[in-house]
Structure 1
């Protein structure tokens, strides 16, 4: 074979290889949400949107309902790369960057739209600074968020003020921020994983908890709880995070397509939550739950004062970030 022929064959092979479609990349995506929760819908629809946006080059294999472990195990899995993506409260990343929990702090957002704006990875000064630390210290980064609704308190007795919770065991998400918040509400914080919550309520290990109405409905907590206090103490916004090595292994246009798809789903999650809350109040009332609101005697200011004082005492380092969050338009 002549040198010229060899060169032509090599060139033809190179052209043929370039014409081949890129190998599909499958990312394992884990979360702890149950069927019927907004976060579960988000993950399922985000997987479809990402596959479409990347022309099938990237797909997500979603593992809901703690299938790949509890929150700590899931975060560790993403950190190590055995799981590539996941979502949970920003505070679940506080073991790596303690200040990340500030995005779940109570009474810092004006409403759901403000919560999404203040947690936009592309524009939020506070998140950009803390994301850089998350990459450096944990090999992970936040690339999206989910609005899950305002969080309220459920119990098996009426709550109008923090004094009604005093000394009683209430479930706290097993994270320092939640423990501090429940303490600020006057109750005794009792850490319980979400997968164990219905049993903990049924057995009396805890007598109440706090979550969006979507979660109360999806997990049928109305079977073991009789009252809801509409405190709206947190605008529940979850972080979508990714292993940074897996992220950098994608092409730039793939990363852009994924973040655009996640951003669109974030906006839709706000619409879902806003549309569902009024319907959920009716649904849960019909299921036997009694609601207390500011109009019916719920003392929101006493909750706000007690909780913010406790957060300030326990987390003075949050002050600068809270100011930045509150300043976001």
Structure 2
């Protein structure tokens, strides 16, 4: 009987240990969909090295870029389940957990790049801190950093100066509700396409245009299948860096602070990378045959701003208080 009781106690201890053990190993699996040459890929690579150095090798990070562990939905699900430790993508990729997190990707809501970075700082942004608590409670996912990729612009295989030029045409939307809404505001027909399939979709005419930062347009050689870039700057592209909450809690407080600092430093560097590269990227795209359309060439940004914001207000009325909080950030 004694051995039976002892065996049950031992089994309970083992079971409790399994259930309560942190869902992380010393090596974290970090997934994203960015391709070689994109700012987000540089960020992940350098952040991984920085985390290893800052923690004295206590925490190492293996990065899986270019959709190696699946598309956006698979990546988010993997982080929720813990099979992937951490990842990054547009804030709106987490909207399946907390719909209002998509507000941080909303078009035309930031004054400039610096404000976009400040308003998405998980250490100081009231709006993000409120939404982060919901992500933790409802999805077991925590935002711990962000990446600035640059302003997003429209590319197409014809000249675009106003929404009238896109009216009724099939246009790539990131497969997230916010992008579908925005593309409707553009006047186009939203056609969801994963980033890995985008060059083929443009080549075959499934879609006639898309929108992304210049770094992505160049890195993915979209100039091979697109002839024009309209410099709308409709979004400041900020990506959320997020981690499985059990993984995060399994890391010591000291190492969490070190990781947070690495990610914050890299976020500020990403802003510099994006700002420094934009002029060179414009010249690179021109050298590869693209026509760049600015306000000087007749691009009407206000013609985009009004219908896009009206569409967002209609489709996402709950964004209003968060947009006000974002606007108040200096």
Bin for the TM-score computed over the shorter chain: over 0.9
Q: How big is the shift at 1:110?
A: 1.0
The 2-side partners of 1:24 and 1:38 are apart by: 27
Q: Which position in structure 1 is the counterpart of 2:280?
A: 279
> Which deviations, in whole Å up to 9, do the C-alpha atoms of 1:74-129 show, x marking residues without a partner?
00000000000000000000000000000000000111111110000010000000
Are the counterparts in 2 of residues 169 and 207 from structure 1 also a CA contact under 8 Å? Answer: yes
Please provide the CA RMSD for this pair. Answer: 0.9
Q: Which position in structure 2 is the counterpart of 1:304?
A: 305
Q: SS of 1:328's equivalent?
A: coil
Are the counterparts in 2 of residues 24 and 59 from structure 1 also a CA contact under 8 Å? Answer: no
The 2-side partners of 1:325 and 1:60 are apart by: 32
Instruction: Count matched residues.
Output: 307
The 1-side partners of 2:327 and 2:196 are apart by: 33
The 1-side partners of 2:276 and 2:160 are apart by: 26
In structure 2, the gaps of 5 or more residues are 1-23
> Which deviations, in whole Å up to 9, do the C-alpha atoms of 1:160-179 show, x marking residues without a partner?
10000000000000000000
Q: Report the CA distance shift for 1:111/1:144 in structure 2 as closer, same or farther (over 3 A).
A: same
Q: Which position in structure 1 is the counterpart of 2:212?
A: 211
Are the counterparts in 2 of residues 46 and 265 from structure 1 also a CA contact under 8 Å? Answer: yes
Q: Which position in structure 1 is the counterpart of 2:126?
A: 125
Q: SS of 1:36's equivalent?
A: coil
The 2-side partners of 1:99 and 1:123 are apart by: 18
Q: Which position in structure 2 is the counterpart of 1:100?
A: 101
The 1-side partners of 2:227 and 2:327 are apart by: 34
* Pairing 1:197–2:229 present: no
> Which deviations, in whole Å up to 9, do the C-alpha atoms of 1:278-327 show, x marking residues without a partner?
00000000100001111110001010001000000100100000000011
Q: Which position in structure 2 is the counterpart of 1:268?
A: 269
Q: Which position in structure 2 is the counterpart of 1:10?
A: none
Q: Which position in structure 2 is the counterpart of 1:235?
A: 236
Q: SS of 1:130's equivalent?
A: helix
> Which deviations, in whole Å up to 9, do the C-alpha atoms of 1:137-187 show, x marking residues without a partner?
000000000000000000000001000000000000000000000000100
Q: Which position in structure 2 is the counterpart of 1:294?
A: 295
Q: SS of 1:325's equivalent?
A: helix
Q: SS of 2:121's equivalent?
A: coil
Q: Which position in structure 1 is the counterpart of 2:8?
A: none
Larger Rg: 1
* Pairing 1:71–2:72 present: yes
Q: Which position in structure 2 is the counterpart of 1:220?
A: 221
Q: SS of 1:145's equivalent?
A: strand
Q: Which position in structure 2 is the counterpart of 1:56?
A: 57
Q: Report the CA distance shift for 1:24/1:85 in structure 2 as closer, same or farther (over 3 A).
A: closer
The 2-side partners of 1:319 and 1:226 are apart by: 37
Correspondence 1:76-87 to 2 at 5 A: 76-87=77-88
Q: Which position in structure 2 is the counterpart of 1:138?
A: 139
Q: Which position in structure 2 is the counterpart of 1:327?
A: 328
Q: SS of 2:51's equivalent?
A: helix
In structure 1, the gaps of 5 or more residues are 1-22
Q: Which position in structure 1 is the counterpart of 2:150?
A: 149
Q: How big is the shift at 1:24?
A: 7.5
The runs of at least 4 consecutive aligned structure 1 residues that moved more than 3 Å come to none
TM-score (norm 2): 0.92
TM-score (norm 1): 0.93
